[in-house]
Structure 1
Amino acid sequence: MENQRNLILTVVLMGLLLIGWDIGLRYFYPQSAQKPKAVASAPAAAGDAAPAKPTREGGLQNPADQALEKQDLTQALAAPTRVAIDAPGLKGSINLIGGAIDDLTLARHREALDKTSAPVRLFSPAGTPAQHFAQLGWAAKGSFAVPDQRTQWTVEGAKLTPATPVTLKWTNPTGQTFAIRYAIDENYMITATQSVTNAGAAPVVVQPIAQINRTDRTASVDTWQVHSGPIGAFDGSVNFATNYKDVTAAGTVAAAGKPNWIGFTDIYWLSALVPDAGAKVDGDYRALGNGLFLADLLYQPVTVAPGQTQTQNVRLFAGAKENKILEAYEKQGVTNLSLSIDWGWFRWFEKPIFWLLDSLFRTVGNFGVAIILLTLIVRGMMFPIAQRQFASMAAMKAIQPKMKALQERYKDDKQKQQQEIMALYKQEGVNPLAGCLPIFLQIPVFFALYKVLVLTIEMRHQPFGLWIHDLSSPDPLHVLNLFGLLPFTPPSFLAIGPLAILLGITMWLQFKLQPSAMDPAQQQVMSIMPWMMMFVMAPFATGLLIYWITSNLLTIGQQRYLYSRHPQLKAQGAKDQQDIDRAVARDKKASASNKPKAR
């Protein structure tokens, strides 16, 4: 009866786990809303529609916002007051009204799996639902005019490319000429040189300013394990502690030290301002209301004497968080930019896993194959440990009779019994924890791979083969809707696909090969565990399931080989199973005999 109660309790807890898991996944990783098939004739204004819950990809989720964004972009980008940006990494334009960089798309990354889909849009003009732009300017310390958002700049140069910089200029009525020279590289870095030339009769005091302005409507989901929101490196340390809610509550959040760079991050994208290494700057985040935020770089005020020119440089990173590119910018002096990827506390382990996986991908050209090869390497490295594990298990089986004798002899003195058992372990050279070591070693590998698949854009939209087109997303096929033939999507805890089923089968086979647990209730729990894990793991990235399935298959092969090297372990396991079966039969017989007989 005790075993039956334990089993019932276990099943109930597993059911609660599955339901809670589904609720948690829907909360932390909601699915992207589908785009409307037709644009509404009169879409709501951006500020009127309630923002939808963020997703891992980020971007606008509300259909009304999506429709209005498309409409506003068509109108804004058709204006003649724009200078084109054409680089291998970035495409877009600069708005000569205000001088803002407010139109940027990422040429190497697409919105959807379809390679013909539109490139990912990072920057959008002010007033659009996806508002996100960078603007440079000055604050006047006196009664002279400085350029603002309504200023119309003149331009020298037809197009901003890696070979052709452009310069924006504007002169005020008192003789001060303001200029911004933009240069762009092959990837995601724009270098701006701000200058003020004073042709007036008196000195002027100006304060250079650089800002990134964005809405949180396009933000990706922010969770305890992956940060999305305000970010920066201050005094050499990257700070993930501030989110949009903090800035909204405080109004203004000062930088946690001298800014090395400051901006906003999503899981895959980053916009950040980078001052010169020797510049004296302050930084902060500000809430403007209606879900709009600023990241500021504030330089020290400078005096520009008549006939003199003051110059200040600032760089703008606007692009994808590709680790290799971020590390290259670090070598160019941008402190810890690669740590804008939220590796967490275990980056010392995650980054080598990523490096190995990325190296394998570059060799074989398929991330799924690279994950399988990574699994082979990890299992190969742990094979000597597994051999010691099986040797220890064989030794444990060999001393079982002595252990039972000690347990019987000291059954009334548990402390003495434990001392004698420990002495027996030492005498026989047996480590009872040796069997747990391979499991503990696999946990950081699994967690590191999980973080890599969630964080790194290198895995985004990477196919494997057959129906698996994105290794960073869950299995798209589900049994309950007949693999897409029926027009509905099951809830995540019932969204069982081929990979989840294969995971359950391989785990069940793996457990079948393991030595039987002496406790019948424990054995029943272990028999249910593979199918519970099938449900729990089904919503995870397909890359993780491929890793686990491969690991299970290798473990099965490894166990069969090691059993052939330790036949006494397999024989003892069969004997233990017979003992368990007899014990279960006795319990059933005793339970039946205790039932009251019908009169």
Structure 2
Amino acid sequence: MDNQRNLIFAVVLCGLMILLYDSAISYFYPAPPESEQTERATTPEQRAAQEVANESGLAPSVAQQAVDLDEALASGNRVAIDAPRVEGSINLVGARVDDIELKDHRATVDEDSGPVQLFAPAGTPIQNFAQFGFVGDGTQLPDAKTVWQASGDTLSPGNPVDLRWDNDEGQRFRIRLSIDDNYMITAEQTVANYGEGPVVVSPFATITRTSLTASKSTWIAHSGPIGTFGGTVDYGVDYDDLAEDGPVSGEGQAAWLGFTDIYWLGALVPEAGSSPDTGFRSLGNDLFRADLIYDPVTLRPGRQITRSSQLFAGAKESGVLDAYQDAGIAQFGLAIDWGWFRWFEKPILWLLRQIFSVVGNFGVAIILLTCCVRGLMFPIAQKGFSSMASMKAIQPDMKKLQEKHKDDKVKQQQEMQKLFKDKGVNPVAGCLPMLLQIPVFFALYKVLILAIEMRHQPFVLWIEDLSAPDPAHVLNLFGLLPYDVPGFLALGPLALLLGFTMWLTFRLNPSTMDPVQQQVFSIMPWVLMFVMAPFAAGLLLYWNTSNLLTLAQQKYLYSKHPQLKAAAEKEKAEKAQKAQEGA
């Protein structure tokens, strides 16, 4: 009777876990609030930076009206951008790079959806833009409303464009923009003083973006403010931190800073050898800004200064980021949040790319990659099973020693160690192989989360995007019934197969648990089936492949070590009999 009551309790508990799963995810990873967020400058340095930025008209009004993207881009005063991997335009009003499209990445899985719009003008629903300018004292300076004059109509590799403005007081300002074959724009900001007295000038660069279109930041993949400060990449600050706690300045000199999503990055790179004031702040109304402000310079008549900054606006492709890192941008490859196991993850990603280049189907590449990794780990698993078999073989002797020396724990331990030595058995040898596999399999899992190569990749039949959840839902008969399935019930064929393969894995492993524990654990595969159903189809494909390989591996190893299975089955039967006698 107690066993039945415990089982019913376990079933009810598992049901509550499923129902509360969506709520828990929403709680821990909430969408950015729509309410106005206020900014607080907490240190003299932050207040000074805010005042400088406000003087230039950088802080947008929280009450500004939403602007249609097409309407904003159709306005005049623009210089086109046409590079191999990006296109867009530069707004001559305010010297803003506010129109960047990524030619190699579609907005949606639909082939006619057009490219990803990474940067967009201020006031549009997806506003995200960079601005270059000057602040200072002693003369009239360009601001957010200044209309710059361009030296050309199109910015392209090998064809830089100069933006010029003369304040009619003796100071001339120039921003020379150039672009490479990937995602990097270089801005050389020059001010020359032809006046009669000295002026104080600070070149600056900023990135402003809305958090409403940001990807969610999770424990496995950071999204939000990011940068390298003092030789360390900072993943610790998110948009809520800026809104609630005020401006944040990185500790140490900045190598680069900006905002990241899972797949995209906008970042500023200061001039080598400089020590600009850098940091992040909330502007209110779900807007946030990354600041790069160079130290003020006093320009006497006849003198000029130039500061060179870089703007990265593109996809987080590991090879591209690493190439920029090799060119001198410290730790730029870590804009992808690889985590602790990046030494495993990068080789795995390289292997995944190589397999994909051969087979041409990313789903098949995931299956083959999983087979390769499991194959490499097989000798370790085999060693663990051998150790477990040896331990099972001496278990009767161990029980005798435990009974014989039950009142003398020290003597019991000494005799146990002597038994292990005489039989050539290492009691921890079965655990170590399992521990060695954990970082490798976690690295494989994280690669599939972070790899932009999986985005919009089809597999077979109904799976058109491996980076999205399985679109086929069993509970509405694959779309035949006219209702949307809630997230926690969105069971597709891959999720069902996952539950079934996990259940088979559990059934194949002989358990030494008591019957009630065994019943509870037999329910867990079906609970995990619901929990994992909303994950990307590529991840479910990996888990299913891994489970099937585990089944094959377990079956083979048990065939090689029948004493292991026989001993476990015998112990299981004894426990079941004792539980039945005690019921």
Please confirm whether the aligned pair reaches a TM-score higher than 0.5, indicating the same fold: yes
Counterpart of 1:557 in structure 2: which amino acid? A
Q: 2:378 matched to 1:368?
A: no
Distance 1:16 1:437, change over 3 A: farther
Q: CA deviation at 1:513?
A: 2.6
Distance 1:141 1:554, change over 3 A: same
Of 533, 537, 543, the residue aligned with 1:548 is: 543
Q: CA deviation at 1:425?
A: 3.6
* Counterpart position of 1:216: 211
Contact 2:31 2:216 in 1 (8 A): no
Counterpart of 1:115 in structure 2: which amino acid? E
1:219 and 1:109 map into 2 onto residues whose CA distance is 17
Contact 1:28 1:221 in 2 (8 A): no
* Counterpart position of 1:190: 185
Q: CA deviation at 1:171?
A: 1.0
1:126 and 1:496 map into 2 onto residues whose CA distance is 40
* Counterpart position of 1:21: 21
Distance 1:225 1:577, change over 3 A: closer
- SS of 1:287's partner is strand
Greater CA drift, 386-395 or 171-180: 386-395
Q: CA deviation at 1:199?
A: 2.8
Q: CA deviation at 1:507?
A: 2.4
Map residues 464-503 of structure 1 onto 2, 5 A cutoff. Answer: 464-503=459-498
Contact 1:518 1:576 in 2 (8 A): no
Distance 1:529 1:77, change over 3 A: closer
Aligned residues: 555
Distance 1:382 1:129, change over 3 A: closer
Q: 2:288 matched to 1:293?
A: yes
1:436 and 1:478 map into 2 onto residues whose CA distance is 39
Q: CA deviation at 1:437?
A: 4.2
Contact 2:276 2:293 in 1 (8 A): yes
Of 90, 100, 112, the residue aligned with 2:96 is: 100
Of 255, 262, 269, the residue aligned with 2:257 is: 262
Contact 2:383 2:433 in 1 (8 A): no
Q: CA deviation at 1:418?
A: 6.0
Contact 2:29 2:217 in 1 (8 A): no
Contact 2:381 2:434 in 1 (8 A): no
Distance 1:583 1:496, change over 3 A: farther
Counterpart of 1:23 in structure 2: which amino acid? S
Distance 1:418 1:499, change over 3 A: farther
Q: CA deviation at 1:533?
A: 2.7
Greater CA drift, 320-329 or 496-505: 496-505
Distance 1:434 1:553, change over 3 A: farther
Contact 1:255 1:282 in 2 (8 A): no
Counterpart of 2:112 in structure 1: which amino acid? T
Contact 2:401 2:416 in 1 (8 A): yes
Q: CA deviation at 1:327?
A: 0.7
1:548 and 1:437 map into 2 onto residues whose CA distance is 22
Contact 1:182 1:190 in 2 (8 A): yes
Counterpart of 1:550 in structure 2: which amino acid? T
* Counterpart position of 1:427: 422
Considering Cα pairs closer than 8 Å and 6+ residues apart, tell me whether 1 or 2 has the greater RCO.
Answer: 2
For 1:306-332, what per-residue CA distance to the aligned partner results, in whole angstroms no more than 9, with x for missing partners? 344322211111111111111111122
* Counterpart position of 2:372: 377
* Counterpart position of 2:118: 122
Q: 2:142 matched to 1:134?
A: no
Q: CA deviation at 1:422?
A: 5.0
2:303 and 2:314 map into 1 onto residues whose CA distance is 36
- SS of 2:143's partner is coil
Q: 2:400 matched to 1:400?
A: no
Distance 1:307 1:404, change over 3 A: closer
Greater CA drift, 18-27 or 331-340: 18-27
1:209 and 1:569 map into 2 onto residues whose CA distance is 69
* Counterpart position of 1:279: 274
Contact 1:135 1:210 in 2 (8 A): yes
Distance 1:488 1:177, change over 3 A: same
Of 511, 523, 530, the residue aligned with 2:518 is: 523
Gaps of 5+ in 1: 33-46, 52-67, 592-599
Contact 2:80 2:90 in 1 (8 A): yes
2:414 and 2:484 map into 1 onto residues whose CA distance is 57
Q: CA deviation at 1:384?
A: 1.8
Q: 2:166 matched to 1:171?
A: yes
* Counterpart position of 2:59: none
For 1:90-130, what per-residue CA distance to the aligned partner results, in whole angstroms no more than 9, with x for missing partners? 21111112221111122121221112113221222122232
Q: CA deviation at 1:3?
A: 4.7
Q: CA deviation at 1:78?
A: 1.4
* Counterpart position of 1:62: none
Map residues 423-462 of structure 1 onto 2, 5 A cutoff. Answer: 423-462=418-457
* Counterpart position of 2:221: 226
- SS of 1:130's partner is coil
For 1:241-271, what per-residue CA distance to the aligned partner results, in whole angstroms no more than 9, with x for missing partners? 2222333344432332222112222222211
Counterpart of 2:140 in structure 1: which amino acid? A
* Counterpart position of 2:507: 512
1:522 and 1:237 map into 2 onto residues whose CA distance is 46
Greater CA drift, 293-302 or 430-439: 430-439
Distance 1:235 1:518, change over 3 A: closer
For 1:455-509, what per-residue CA distance to the aligned partner results, in whole angstroms no more than 9, with x for missing partners? 3322222222222222222222222111222233333332222112222222232
Aligned-residue RMSD, C-alpha: 2.9
* Counterpart position of 1:331: 326
1:260 and 1:577 map into 2 onto residues whose CA distance is 60
Q: CA deviation at 1:156?
A: 0.8
Gaps of 5+ in 2: 37-64
Distance 1:140 1:414, change over 3 A: closer
1:291 and 1:526 map into 2 onto residues whose CA distance is 44
For 1:530-589, what per-residue CA distance to the aligned partner results, in whole angstroms no more than 9, with x for missing partners? 3233223222222222222222222222233233323344444554555456456x43xx
1:474 and 1:530 map into 2 onto residues whose CA distance is 19
1:437 and 1:559 map into 2 onto residues whose CA distance is 18
Map residues 37-52 of structure 1 onto 2, 5 A cutoff. Answer: none
2:2 and 2:335 map into 1 onto residues whose CA distance is 53
2:559 and 2:210 map into 1 onto residues whose CA distance is 63
Counterpart of 2:316 in structure 1: which amino acid? K
Counterpart of 1:173 in structure 2: which amino acid? D
After TM superposition, the score normalised by the length of structure 1 is: 0.85
- SS of 1:252's partner is coil
Of 531, 540, 548, the residue aligned with 1:536 is: 531
2:31 and 2:194 map into 1 onto residues whose CA distance is 58
